[in-house]
Amino acid sequence: MGLFRSSELLGIARETMEFTLEACEETHPNEYMGFLRTEDTSQLDLDKTGQVITDVLVIPGTKSSQVSASVRSHMKPNDIRSVGSVHSHPNGVLQPSDADLATFGQGQVHIIIGAPYGWGDWKVFDNHGEQTTLEVLDVELPENHFFDFTQEEIDAELAAEGRLNDLEPDARDSDSGWFF
Residue 6 has pLDDT above 80, yes or no: no
Residue 24 has pLDDT above 90, yes or no: yes
Pairing state between β 178-179 and 69-72: antiparallel
How confident is the model at residue 47, as a pLDDT?
87
94/115 Cα distance (integer angstroms) = 9
Which tens digit of pLDDT belongs to each residue from 128-143?
999 999 999 999 887 6
How confident is the model at residue 176, as a pLDDT?
41
C-alpha Rg value of the chain to the nearest Å: 16
Catalytic residues: 31
| Average pLDDT of the residues of the chain | 80
168/147 Cα distance (integer angstroms) = 23
Q: What are residue 61's phi and psi, to 5 degrees? A: 90, 5
Which tens digit of pLDDT belongs to each residue from 36-54?
999 999 888 888 899 999 9
Q: What are residue 35's phi and psi, to 5 degrees? A: -115, 140
Averaged pLDDT, 104-115: 92
83/57 Cα distance (integer angstroms) = 11
Please state which of the four CATH numbers 3.40.140.10, 3.40.50.1000, 3.40.50.300, 3.30.465.10 is assigned to the domain occupying 9-174.
Answer: 3.40.140.10
Q: What are residue 57's phi and psi, to 5 degrees? A: -95, 130
pLDDT confidence of 12, banded at 50, 70, 90?
A: very high
How confident is the model at residue 125, as a pLDDT?
98
Pairing state between β 122-126 and 109-114: antiparallel
Could you state, in order of their start, the residue ranges of all structural domains in the chain? Answer: 9-174
